[in-house]
Structure 1
């Protein structure tokens, strides 16, 4: 569960509860929540009741289980349309998917983690962890490393301090020093690789999506399986990948992506 920042008070606690409920990926009973929540029983109950009254949560009248409410769904949809790269990038990742014939992922950074905001399956889809809406680790995914490499040094230090460095596969990089070395290579080439670092058999090439000012606004990857492709074959798509990332960045700039500086004005 995401920890609320100090001083966020009731709002921060309520958001923590929403995060906790969403993490179950299914309707969840109060007793289960109590076992995972850091809040006292009375506080947790009060927060859940408030969220339910506001339609941010829904309670099943038969089982008593809680799940994200319809108001939260509406807000999520609005956020996807207004703050996500997905609507802007959709035609570009459609084209990239057709030309590469591989799975395409579009992602944005969420506190040092990777939030997948869109996905296009290959002609022959392969089952893998990443789905739109899922959150993955930044340090051991190609698209995560591509974005992290282009953060400022201060931002990158803060992000790496929050990484778990869990070893998912024998190829996972689990030290800051190893990542710093790879980040230098990524900055030099403009793209990153996932060498089975998160999932065995899954590889990718990824590039950051940068604003005119060099700020990271997203990431894009071409992903395949070792059963059907190689890193060398994926690297052959590097010019196309970088071109697509640039097109998305240009469209985001003209759309005045939230928070982006319009330097030309």
Structure 2
């Protein structure tokens, strides 16, 4: 379980940290397990859990004595997905591209410096990999993450950069800000990003940003495959098609008030 780190955002911030800690478990969790990873005293943690439960953000199972995410949170998440996510607008474009290419497609947005996968299309011959819709992944070692970071203004890049762990997932992972900064410069010049087995062995992709009229990244799309089925040279040939789809999505999203990163 991830240890809770206080953000200094007051009572609301602390309550959200507790909510995050329950979500991070991936299933029902007991109070004692939460307490073992919490910076809050026992009474404080219990009070936050009670408040979140009363507000419907958490649910409590008295038989198993466990906490889980509540239905009110599910309703809020659904509203956020439909109103602040590119997924509903991008869906027909992804459907057409999926039928055309038969490879895995990802649609992602940046969330607190990390990649939030908001939609996915599986390949005709599915490949097991980390990503799935609703899952959060690292930005510094994924194609969609780097494609979006490369099109952020300098001050935003700095803020996102400090949120990266630079954990070495594979021998190809960038592990320093300097390495990543050089890669982002190259991505900006060529207009697309690669994942060169940086997050998962054998998994490669090409990704392009979805840009607003002001050139800000509101998302990214990628085509993902494996080194046993293709190579980066073949994926590079898909860059013009991906750019065209990204422009179509951006055009459809023009009148929709998406939060720009």
Where 1:107 maps in the other structure, the secondary structure is: strand
Q: Which residue of 2 aligns with 1:17?
A: 18
Unaligned stretches of 5+ residues in structure 1: 261-265
2:116 equivalent to 1:115? yes
2:79 equivalent to 1:78? yes
- Provide Cα deviations, 1:172-197, integer angstroms capped at 9, x if missing partner: 01112211211121111110000000
**Are the equivalent residues in 1 in contact too, given 2:113–2:139 (CA < 8 A)?**
yes
- 2: CA distance between counterparts of 1:94 and 1:18? 34
- Provide Cα deviations, 1:132-167, integer angstroms capped at 9, x if missing partner: 111111100011000001111111112112211100
- 2: CA distance between counterparts of 1:65 and 1:259? 35
2:204 equivalent to 1:203? yes
RMSD, aligned CA: 1.3
2:104 equivalent to 1:103? yes
- Provide Cα deviations, 1:217-237, integer angstroms capped at 9, x if missing partner: 111110001121111111111
Q: How does 1:96-175 map to 2 (within 5 A)?
A: 96-175=97-176
- 2: CA distance between counterparts of 1:17 and 1:149? 32
Shift of 1:5: 3.9
So what's the TM-score if we normalise by structure 2?
Answer: 0.96
Where 2:76 maps in the other structure, the secondary structure is: helix
- 2: CA distance between counterparts of 1:67 and 1:161? 30
- 1: CA distance between counterparts of 2:190 and 2:85? 26
- Of 145-154 and 91-100, more deviation after overlay is shown by 91-100
- 1: CA distance between counterparts of 2:7 and 2:209? 28
2:249 equivalent to 1:241? no
Where 2:134 maps in the other structure, the secondary structure is: coil
- Provide Cα deviations, 1:233-254, integer angstroms capped at 9, x if missing partner: 1111111111111111111113
- 2: CA distance between counterparts of 1:3 and 1:162? 13
Q: Note closer, same or farther for the CA distance 1:5–1:41 as it changes in structure 2 (3 Å cut).
A: same
- 1: CA distance between counterparts of 2:6 and 2:259? 22
Q: Which residue of 2 aligns with 1:263?
A: none
Shift of 1:258: 3.2
- 2: CA distance between counterparts of 1:3 and 1:95? 42
Where 2:224 maps in the other structure, the secondary structure is: strand
- 2: CA distance between counterparts of 1:149 and 1:3? 28
Q: Note closer, same or farther for the CA distance 1:3–1:210 as it changes in structure 2 (3 Å cut).
A: farther
**Are the equivalent residues in 2 in contact too, given 1:100–1:237 (CA < 8 A)?**
no
Unaligned stretches of 5+ residues in structure 2: none
Q: Which residue of 2 aligns with 1:46?
A: 47
Q: How many residues align?
A: 258
**Are the equivalent residues in 1 in contact too, given 2:28–2:68 (CA < 8 A)?**
yes
Where 1:46 maps in the other structure, the secondary structure is: helix
Shift of 1:4: 5.5
Where 1:253 maps in the other structure, the secondary structure is: coil
